[in-house]
Amino acid sequence: MSVSLLFLHGWAMNGAVFDDIAARLGPDFDCHAPDLPGHGVLEKDEPSLDRCVEIVGEIIDRLDRPILVGWSMGAAVAWQYIAQHGAKDLGGLITVDMSPRLLPDEQWTFGLGGQSADAVLSTSSRIEFQWRSMVNNIQRNMYAPDRALSADDEAMKALLLQQDPTTLRPIWDDLVAMDARNTIAGIEIPYLVCAGGQSQLYDPEVAHWIARQAPMAEVQIFQNSGHSPHLEEPEAFCDALRRFAMAQKSGTPEQQKTMIR
C-alpha cells in the first residue's frame, strides 16, 4: 500500500518543483503537489494563507492520512492548517527550511535572513514595483552560497519571472504577519524538521528550536544545501522521506523517532 505525500511549495513557486522528487520516490508513494492560491493554475484564486489552508484541507479530506511536506511558505501553510484543524487527519509532518516567525525582536533571533524587522517589512512595498530586480536575489538565496550554475537555473528564473507580483504581495504580507510558535508546541504527530546547513534565509538552528517545542519532532540538516534541499540534494532528501514514511508505517513512537535520526 502506497504512502500518500502532500507537497506544499514555496512562495513564488508552484507544485511542479516537486516533480523530480515524486519521480525519484517511485510507485510506493502517492505524491500530490498542487499549485497553491496566487500561484500557477490558481494564480487568480484569492492570494492568502487562509485560502491556501482551505485548498489543502480539501485535498487532505480526499486522502488517507497523508504526510504533509511543506517547504518555506508551504511550511507556513502546514502550520496554519494544523492551527485551524488539528493534526488528526495527518500521518505525519515534514517542514523544510522555514521559521515560524519571520520578524525578529529582542527575544526572537530566528527571523528571515538575519534582517532587522524594518528590513523584512520593507520588502512588501518592493514586490509589485521591483519584481524583475528582486528575482535575481530570490534565485540566489534559494541555494547554498558559491553553488555552481546548472542547466536548471534559467528555468527557475523563468518560473519566477512568470509570477504576478500583485498576487504574491498579499501572501507575503500574511507570511510576515505570521507567528506559528505556539502552534508548533502543540503538534503531537511525528514531525521531521528539515533545514539546509548553508541556508541564506534561515539559521539552521531554528530547526532545532522547532524540535525542542514539538513533542515528536526530529531534525534533519542537509549540510550541502541552502534553502532548497529537495533541489540541491534530491536523493538525500528522498532518503529522508523514505525513512520517515517507513517509521510511520511500523513501530511505536519511540521506535519511529529512532528510525529517523
In the block, residue with C-alpha cell 492520512: 65
Tens-digit pLDDT profile for residues 133-186: 999 999 999 999 988 877 788 999 999 999 999 999 999 999 999 999 999 999
Residue 149 confidence (pLDDT)? 75
All structural domains of the chain, each given as residue ranges with its CATH number in brackets, are: 3-259 (3.40.50.1820)
CA atoms within 13 A on the CB side of 27: 1
Tens-digit pLDDT profile for residues 4-56: 999 999 999 999 999 999 999 999 999 999 999 999 999 999 999 999 999 99
DSSP assignment string, 145-177: TTPPP-THHHHHHHHHHHS-HHHHHHHHHHHHH
Tens-digit pLDDT profile for residues 183-239: 999 999 999 999 999 999 999 999 999 999 999 999 999 999 999 999 999 999 999
- For residues 99, 101, 105, 110, the Cα torsion angle rounded to the nearest 10 degrees is 0
Grid cell, residue 79, equals 502550520
The secondary element (H helix, E strand) that includes residue 6 is: strand 3-8
